[in-house]
Amino acid sequence: MKSGIMFFIMAVNISPEYLKAQKNNPRLWYGRFRIKIAPITKKIRQFLRDTTPEPKSTPAAECHITNNLETQASHFQEHGWAFVENIFDQSFYKELIKYWPKRYWLEPPTKITKNYDRGMAWSYGEPVPESFKYHPTVKKMLDYLRTEKFQNRIKNFIGKDKDFVSYSFAMHKSYPGTQVVPHRDGIYNNDLAQNVINVFFFVNGNGGKNAGGLTLTNDAMGDDVIFEPTNLKNSCLIYDSKAPFYHGFKPMRLGRYRWSIGAQFLEKDFVEKQ
Ligand SMILES: [Fe+2]
């Protein structure tokens, strides 16, 4: 199943001109440096994880995704994307911020085309990793996304008479010099799936332009912008990887940070045929 998820999210339709234009962008210097030192960073982070004690208690708030989700359903059904603000209720949101994993729970980047720290990842058919034991708040979120109830909310949100399953989950930390080169996902070219739903939570970030807001564009150069999220606190971009637009963001500027969680929902029939 691992090869499945890697194929689905693999970036395709990247523009060589875009890569050429960004080659000497000074904002990418720190991103390249982090890739260079990634082997050392990985070893240090593994040591820190190995020596972290398990938490003794579980925070109180339950994961609650507000009905603001449903208010954007018609926008999604018309355009193939929607932006939802105040996606979590305040009590869960506060705990998600408070118990956000320390950086060493994520792995450093290894490629410049998508160079954020990423970890706490789960995908369909796999057991929930040990790392979630140390982060009960995050585990509650993953558990909720996998419930029948939330999968039904996604089904209604998409508005087609077909079931969806929670397929993947991963957390990210981004910083100055992080970029995602505009691309489509590999599954864009797979005719067996009609809708591949990405629910991309912006948990925390100072926001504004060029601050890591995953941007939808009509072109691979990232210039013809459909939508750039600038509120990166407790918001969420939902988009269909089968829609014709590209997604990505230009190298983040100095002083910017972004915490995010990506979750993917696939058609149940499609997943069961894999
Ligand atoms: Fe992607």
- pLDDT for the residue numbered 10: 85
Give the count of beta carbons closer than 10 Å to the beta carbon of residue 79: 15
Q: How many angstroms does the Cα of residue 246 sit away from the middle of ligand 1?
A: 8
Backbone CA torsion sign across 77, 141, 262, 233: positive
Q: What is the pLDDT of the chain when averaged over all its residues?
A: 94
User: How far away, in angstroms, is 120 Cα from ligand 1 center?
Assistant: 18
Residue 213 has pLDDT above 90, yes or no: yes
User: Residue 87's closest CA among 233, 197, 257, 240?
Assistant: 233
Indicate the burial class of 60 (C-beta count within 10 angstroms; 0-12, 13-18, 19 or more).
exposed
pLDDT in tens, 15-53: 999 999 988 899 999 999 999 999 999 999 999 999 999
Cα-to-centroid distance, 47 and ligand 1 (Å)? 30
pLDDT of 273 strictly over 80: yes
Strands 81-85 and 215-217: unpaired
Q: Per-residue DSSP letters for 148-171?
A: HHHHHHHHHHHTSS--EEEEEEEE
Number of continuous H segments (helices) and E segments (strands) in the chain: 10, 12
pLDDT average, residue stretch 84-90: 98
CA of 249 to the centre of ligand 1 (A): 11
Separation of CA 180 and ligand 1 centre (Å): 8
Give yes or no for residue 57 having a pLDDT over 90: no
Positive or negative CA dihedral for 222, 227, 230, 232?
Answer: negative
Using CB atoms within 10 Å of the CB of residue 109, give its burial: 0 to 12 exposed, 13 to 18 middle, 19+ buried: buried
Residue 192: predicted pLDDT: 84
Domains in the chain, ordered, with CATH? Answer: 2-55+63-273 (2.60.120.620)
pLDDT at 2: 44
Question: Residue 109's pLDDT is what?
Answer: 95
Q: In the structure, what pLDDT confidence band is assigned to residue 239 with cuts at 50, 70 and 90?
A: very high
Mean local confidence (pLDDT), 255-262: 97
Overall average pLDDT of the 191-211 stretch: 94
pLDDT score, position 189 = 87
| Strands ordered across the beta sheet of 225-227 | 11-12, 180-185, 246-249, 215-217, 225-227
Sequence-ordered list of residues with C-beta below 8 angstroms from that of 74, at least 6 positions apart, any chain? none
Q: How far is the CA of 220 from the centre of ligand 1 (A)?
A: 12
Q: What percent of the chain has pLDDT over 90?
A: 88
Does 188 have pLDDT greater than 80?
yes
The pLDDT, as a whole number, for residue 75 is 98
Other CB atoms within 10 A of residue 210 CB:
17
Residue-level pLDDT at 6: 65
Which residues are found with C-beta within 5 Å of the ion, ligand 1?
185
Percentage of the chain beyond pLDDT 70 is 97
Quote the pLDDT of residue 7.
67
Give the confidence band of 3 by pLDDT, cuts at 50, 70, 90.
low
User: Ligand 1 centre from 74 Cα, in Å?
Assistant: 23
Report the range of poorest mean pLDDT among 2-11, 62-71, 222-231. Answer: 2-11
Average the pLDDT over 74-84 and give the result: 98
Q: Ligand 1: distance of its center to the CA of 214 in Å?
A: 10
Report CA(13)–ligand 1 centroid distance (Å): 11
Q: How far is the CA of 8 from the centre of ligand 1 (A)?
A: 9
Q: Using the mean position of ligand 1's atoms as its centre, give its distance from the Cα of residue 198 in Å.
A: 9
**Mind listing the pLDDT tens digit for each residue in 117-154?**
999 999 999 999 999 999 999 999 999 999 999 999 99
